[in-house]
Amino acid sequence: MASPLLFTFALWALLLTPGPTNSLMALAGGQKGLCRAASLIPAELGAYLIVVIPLAMLGKDGIASWPSQAIKLGAAIWVLHLALKLWRAAMPTGGTADITARQLFVTTLLNPKGLIIGLALLPAATHPAFALDLLILSLSVIAAALLWAGLGAGIGRVRWLPRIAAAWLALLSGGLAFGAMAH
């Protein structure tokens, strides 16, 4: 098993990568400011823990029969739905659609990063380092969410930011769908 430092480095490399959850957190920071966007962090952390703990308990063998293509396709559809919603909200007549805890929670549940963390980075739940690594994961998710929300808050409520976030989410959705069809 990896040392806590190596685990943290790998985790941060993954958590800081732009993806659907981080895009929503940055957009929330731009919409609400850092302090109000930080209120969404429990939804993100809860979703990650709901995914990674059972995966660490079941292990790779326990989920080998799960339909991964269906999970990827479901995630692609959800992310595309969010992209369309953000795009429409950015239209002159659309007003603003604030990012909600529910949207962030579902997006994080479907985020492939949770699978990677639960199956590749976290040790088995029976391993002595599991509790420490789970604590490191929790603190890292909080810190990464604050960084993304802070980035969004730094950019501010820019008119084109929802359109860029929508386009990015649509691109990620296409990648997820392609990945589901390729297997």
Report pLDDT digits (tens) over 51-79.
Answer: 999 888 887 665 555 566 666 666 667 76
For 95: left if phi > 0, alpha if psi spans -120 to 50, otherwise beta; the answer is left
- In the 8-state DSSP scheme, what is residue 123? P
Q: Taking 50 as the threshold, does the pLDDT of residue 94 lie above it?
A: no
Taking CA atoms, 63 is separated from 60, 68, 119, in Å, by: 6, 9, 10
Residue 124: predicted pLDDT: 87
Q: What pLDDT sits at residue 93?
A: 47
* Average pLDDT taken over every residue of the chain: 82
| 160-176 per-position pLDDT tens digit | 666 777 777 777 677 76
